[in-house]
Structure formats: C-alpha cells, structure tokens
C-alpha cells in the first residue's frame, strides 16, 4: 500500500467518524442533553476528512513498471504533455485523473490450442503459401509500450492496443510473409528467413504506434488434413525407396563378395596348377639329369649294368634257366660258380 492509498483510507475513516459524531450530537440534542463542543468536533472531523480526501485525490504513486497519463480538465488538449514517471506524484484533485499504462514486457499468443492463446478456442493464423497450400501458424508476439510514447499510445489506442494493434498487425504480416514461400520452404530451408521477415515488419509497424517489439516467436506450423496426408504418403514412398536402394546395395555387395570369393578360388587353382607344373618340370629336369649321369656312368663302366641287374635278383634264386632261342638280356662276361655257389647255365636250343 502506497502513501496515496493511505491518505484515501484516512479520508474515508474521517468521513465515517464525522458522520458518527454528527449522529451522536443529534441524538443527544433530541434527548435534551446537548453535547458540549459537539459542533466544533464535527467541524474538526469534517475539515480533517476534507484534507485527507484532497490529499488522497491529489497524490499518485507510480510503480517502476508503469507510466501515468494525466487527464486534465484544466488543459486545452485535455491531457498533460508529459507522462508521470515512477514515484509519488501530485495532480490537481478532482480536476485531473491518472490512467496507468504498463511498460513491462507483454505477450500476445495466437494458438490452435484453445487453452494457450489470449483468445479461447482455435486462434491460429490461417495462411496460404506461394504454391497454394494452406497452413496454420501458431505465434507469440512479445512487446512493450515505449515509455517515451505512452501519450501517443493513449491517444491512438488507449487500452485496445493488444487486440486492435498487435493481434491485427501480426495476423496480416504473417499471411503476407508466408505467401512469398513454398510450403516445403516454410518448414525447412526458409523458416528462419520467414521469421526474420515477419520480425522486421512487425518491429516497424509497432514502432509507428508507440510499441517496442521484443521478439516474435513462430511456435508451430500445422498443415491442412489433405496436405498432411500427402506428406505422409510421400514419406512412406521415400522410405520404401530407401529400403529398395538398401536391398539393391546389399545384393550388390553380396555379388561383389561372391565374385571376390570366386576370384580367390580361381587364383588358388591357378597357383596350384602353376606349382604342379613347376614341380613336374623340376622333377623332369632332375630325372633327365639323373639319366644323363647314369648314361655317363655306363659309358665309363659297362659292367655296372650287369651288376645292378644281378643285385636286383631275389636272394633265393640258385640258378636261372633261359631258353636257348631267347636273346640274353645281358651279356654275361663268364659262366661259372659264383661266390655263393650259384651257377648260371644257358639252356640248349631245341
């Protein structure tokens, strides 16, 4: 409670006391027992009540978040040229009155949800994009009255600035800005550009009428049922396309993997074939070299072949008969007993 309210309360109390004293004096006078000094008491209480009333009517306390517009019957314009600043101020009682205006931030919300906006029910902004799609915009305008232009706000709008200025300008500017973009641009690449355009135009319009735009908030964008259904179908088709591309890529990777496995198996077969061929070549060369060595040995020592032949015979053979008409496999150097007593005798021809 400020001092102006205290004086107003004291003025009311003084008038009550004065009326009560006047009634008591009248009753005593009617009973033939007049109250001594009753008239002076009534006069003193009345003067005190008038003083308090004048003080209560003339003193105004302006809060820090307020400015006061003085409506004056003594001014040719009907108001003071300067708004009252915060603190205890004085106006001419009964000839001037004060209308208070808040200069703190205020919020005006337009929403599709009935419980969120300043207007009950669906208060979203219906707008149409450049490609003919209808969207519904939820927005909040945060603003304040310019302390230097409180008089102008009172003259132009009084207490109607929220509905008649902020609401009307916001809805019109949003519709104009949305019409410059396509529906996909509004919700994707150009959303921030859209908000910047709206914010700059709103700031200019509010400034012309004594308000300051603190911020413009694009809360939500809702599509028409038809467009929402088409967007859903498009998303489903895109998901199916992505799934198909994934399957194709998976099959391609599987085919590539199978090709690499087959290539590896083919390379392994070629490597094994080359290894076998090289092994056979090496074996053939070794065998050829061995035969060459054997041939050289036989040239230098012809009896070596006879020795190898005899050494390969079974140790149990005591004698071996050959047909007289069969050629000798080997030309034996001589016939006679061996060290083991075995004699080789050729059979006569029949």
Which residue among 181, 207, 229 closes a domain? 229
Structural domain for 89, as ranges? 3-102
Are residues 179 and 219 both part of a single domain?
yes
- Cα–Cα distance for residue pair 151/69, rounded to 1 Å: 6
Q: Are residues 114 and 205 in the same domain?
A: yes
Residues 33 and 60 in one domain: yes
Block residue for tokens 């179908």: 233
Prediction pTM value: 0.60
The Cα–Cα gap between 77 and 151 comes to 12
Name the helix (H) or strand (E) containing 182. Answer: none
Pair (118, 225) in one structural domain: yes
Q: Is residue 66 part of a domain?
A: yes
Q: Where are the alpha helices (DSSP H) in the chain?
A: 3-30, 38-58, 150-156, 168-178, 183-187, 191-208, 225-300, 303-311
Q: Has residue 111 been placed in a domain?
A: yes
Cα dihedral angle (322, 326, 332, 333), rounded to 10 degrees?
Answer: 120
Q: Indicate whether 316 belongs to any domain.
A: no
Residue 284 within a domain: yes
Cα(201)–Cα(213) distance, integer angstroms: 10
Does residue 303 lie within any of the structural domains? yes
Residue 305 lies in a domain: yes
Give the chain's domain count. 3
Other Cβ atoms closer than 10 A to 122: 13
Q: Are residues 132 and 212 in the same domain?
A: yes
Whether residues 98 and 35 fall in one domain = yes
Looking at the fold, whether 98 and 138 belong to one and the same domain comes out as no
In a domain, 88, yes or no: yes
Same domain for 164 and 222, yes or no, is yes
Nearest Cα to Cα of residue 127 among 184, 168, 178, 170: 178
Q: Rounded to whole angstroms, how far apart are CA atoms 80 and 22?
A: 40
Kind of pairing between the strands at 125-128 and 87-90:
unpaired
Count of C-beta atoms within a 10 Å radius of residue 170: 25
> Which residues make Cβ contacts (< 8 Å) with residue 8, sequence separation at least 6?
52, 53, 56, 57
Which residues are paired to 128 by β-bridges? Answer: 134
Q: Parallel, antiparallel, or unpaired: how do β-strands 125-128 and 106-110 relate?
A: unpaired
> Has residue 249 been placed in a domain?
no
Is residue 82 located within the same domain as residue 113?
no
Asked if 97 and 112 sit in the same domain, the reply is no
Q: Residue 169: which CATH number? A: 3.30.479.30
**pLDDT mean by block of 10 residues, the chain; 350 residues:** 74 82 78 74 82 84 93 90 91 91 96 85 91 91 96 94 95 95 87 94 95 94 75 65 79 84 83 84 82 75 68 61 55 49 47
pLDDT score for 258? 82
- CA 296-299-302 angle, to 5 degrees, is 125
**For helices 3-30 and 38-58, what crossing angle results, to 10°?**
160
Q: Which of the listed residues 82, 102, 122 is the one where a domain comes to its end?
A: 102
Q: Contacts by 61-66 with C-beta closer than 8 Å and gap 24+? A: 61/2, 61/3, 61/4, 61/5, 61/87, 61/88, 61/89, 62/86, 62/87, 62/88, 62/89, 62/98, 62/100, 63/100, 65/102, 65/103, 65/104, 66/100, 66/101, 66/102, 66/103
Residues 60 and 113 in one domain: no
Q: In this predicted structure, what is the pLDDT of residue 236?
A: 61
Domain match, 138 and 196 both:
yes
Which of 102, 129, 149 corresponds to the end of one domain?
102
């Amino acid at each position: 409670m400020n001092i102006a309210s205290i004086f107003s309360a004291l003025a009311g109390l003084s008038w009550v006391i004065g009326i009560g004293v006047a009634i008591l004096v009248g009753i005593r006078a009617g009973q033939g027992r007049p109250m001594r000094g009753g008239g002076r008491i009534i006069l003193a209480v009345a003067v005190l009540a008038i003083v308090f009333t004048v003080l209560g009517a003339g003193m105004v306390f302006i809060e820090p978040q307020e400015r006061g517009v003085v409506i004056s019957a003594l001014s040719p314009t009907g108001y003071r040229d300067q708004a009252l600043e915060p603190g205890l101020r004085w106006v001419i009682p009964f000839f001037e009155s004060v209308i208070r205006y808040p200069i703190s931030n205020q919020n005006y919300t337009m929403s599709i949800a009935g419980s969120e906006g300043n207007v009950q029910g669906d208060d979203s902004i219906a707008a149409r994009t450049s490609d003919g799609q209808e969207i519904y915009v939820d927005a909040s305008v945060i603003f304040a009255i310019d302390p230097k232009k409180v008089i102008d706000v009172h003259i132009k709008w009084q207490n109607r600035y929220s509905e008649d200025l902020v609401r009307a300008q916001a809805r019109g500017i949003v519709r104009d800005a949305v019409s410059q973009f396509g529906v996909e641009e509004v919700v994707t690449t150009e959303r921030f550009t859209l908000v910047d355009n709206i914010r700059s135009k709103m700031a200019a319009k509010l400034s012309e009428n004594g308000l300051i735009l603190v911020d413009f908030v694009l809360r939500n964008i809702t599509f028409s049922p038809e467009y929402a259904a088409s967007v859903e179908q498009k998303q489903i088709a895109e998901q199916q396309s992505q799934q198909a591309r994934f399957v194709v890529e998976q099959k391609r990777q599987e085919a590539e993997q199978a090709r690499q496995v087959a290539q590896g198996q083919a390379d392994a077969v070629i490597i094994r074939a080359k290894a076998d061929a090289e092994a056979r070549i090496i074996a053939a060369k070794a065998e050829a070299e061995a035969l060459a060595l054997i041939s050289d040995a036989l040239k230098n020592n012809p009896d070596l072949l006879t020795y190898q032949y005899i050494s390969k015979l079974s140790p149990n053979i005591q004698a071996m008969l050959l047909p007289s008409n069969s050629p000798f496999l080997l030309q034996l150097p001589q016939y006679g007993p061996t060290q083991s007593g075995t004699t080789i005798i050729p059979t006569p021809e029949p």
